[in-house]
Structure 1
């Protein structure tokens, strides 16, 4: 199902059905499924505890939820990056935007429905200068919360899939932080400047 031996992320509307199918396909190897409506920090701690129980054979941990809180995802980052021996993680949710960019960067992703089509933005991140940055920010300074989150997702999609930039950890964390700040009702103009400044700095260092 996934290219990586560490597992992956599955975007599906049929969480419980797909979890059962995965369990059956992996039999007789052990699967432990954590199915929640909202995956919280206490659920992440339970997963981590289960992951560190030693196994002679491969054990798959299936984490399925309609939403994953930011603290829960942050708690899982380290173990997703360096899973214990013989442990495989499969994360499932109905929407790709559920997962932070830093989580998505650690696992391959499979989608069961058509991926959202993004329009090309009037900005080039790899050649970003101050004039382009402030013109883009001015054009997008009055967005509703869902529109602001969608624009951050669109910027990340453009960076990774259109411009094919090798994102640094600070750039990935910038996208993460932006989504959290938008959720906390921070001023979007400032959030957008923060994200774009990460790319401006990269251009300056490369000169």
Structure 2
């Protein structure tokens, strides 16, 4: 699957399916899987402990998650650079941007080609008003990190491809900044307001 014998990074929307395929492909050799929604520092410590258990034959460690925290990735850097004997690492996530450049530099990366599908949201950004903004934000203020990033991407897709709004530089920058802030664990309610306020009818009239 990967050119690097130490393993690699697989970018896929079908994490569970790919895990099952890899587990089948390496049998009868050992494969230990760590599946999480958000891969945290304590998960990284568990992986490191498993990696240092001596193995006579190759053991594959699969780390699959929708997001990996920065502390977790930093904790894994040394062992990814110099893995113990007979240990292979395979990291999986839906987005390449999930991984730090330092992690990506240590492993080969393969990205599955897939076509994202986005459902139409129950709002129209072209006619968005303040009341709708507050309602929408309230309904989406408790999302997990990967869900929050997905909603921002969904809003951008709707604006560009469904409503065909000619986005201003401010609106585009709002989407890009939102994804960065989510990765830094900023409060999603504030991030969502920052994005949506650029589409308010009142704001547009004042330009």
Q: Give the TM-score category using the shorter length.
A: 0.5 to 0.7
How far off its partner does 1:180 sit?
8.2
Structure 1 94/182 Cα, relative in aligned 2: closer, same or farther at 3 Å? Answer: closer
Question: In the aligned structure 2, how far is the partner of 1:58 from the partner of 1:92?
Answer: 19
How far off its partner does 1:143 sit?
3.2
1:183 and 2:184 aligned: yes
Do the aligned residues in 2 keep the contact of 1:73 with 1:100 (CA within 8 Å)?
Answer: yes
Q: CA RMSD in A?
A: 2.5
Question: In the aligned structure 1, how far is the partner of 2:57 from the partner of 2:77?
Answer: 23
1:8 and 2:8 aligned: yes
Structure 1 ranges of 4+ moved more than 4 A? 179-182
Unaligned runs of 5+ in 1: 116-138, 151-178, 186-207
Which residue does 1:161 correspond to in 2? none
Unaligned runs of 5+ in 2: 116-168, 187-207
Determine which structure has more spread, i.e. the larger CA radius of gyration.
2
Question: In the aligned structure 1, how far is the partner of 2:41 from the partner of 2:11?
Answer: 21
Question: In the aligned structure 2, how far is the partner of 1:182 from the partner of 1:76?
Answer: 18
1:147 and 2:176 aligned: yes
Do the aligned residues in 2 keep the contact of 1:67 with 1:98 (CA within 8 Å)?
Answer: yes
How far off its partner does 1:149 sit?
7.7
Do the aligned residues in 2 keep the contact of 1:70 with 1:180 (CA within 8 Å)?
Answer: no
Normalising by structure 2, what TM-score?
0.59
Do the aligned residues in 2 keep the contact of 1:148 with 1:182 (CA within 8 Å)?
Answer: no
Question: In the aligned structure 1, how far is the partner of 2:75 from the partner of 2:58?
Answer: 22
Which residue does 1:18 correspond to in 2? 18
Question: In the aligned structure 1, how far is the partner of 2:181 from the partner of 2:49?
Answer: 26
Normalising by structure 1, what TM-score?
0.59
Structure 1 34/143 Cα, relative in aligned 2: closer, same or farther at 3 Å? Answer: same
Question: In the aligned structure 2, how far is the partner of 1:101 from the partner of 1:181?
Answer: 18
How far off its partner does 1:17 sit?
1.0
1:11-64 per-residue CA deviation (whole Å, 9 max, x = no partner) reads 111111110100000001100000000000000000000000000000000000
Question: In the aligned structure 2, how far is the partner of 1:20 from the partner of 1:184?
Answer: 31
Structure 1 182/6 Cα, relative in aligned 2: closer, same or farther at 3 Å? Answer: closer
* Paired residues, number: 133
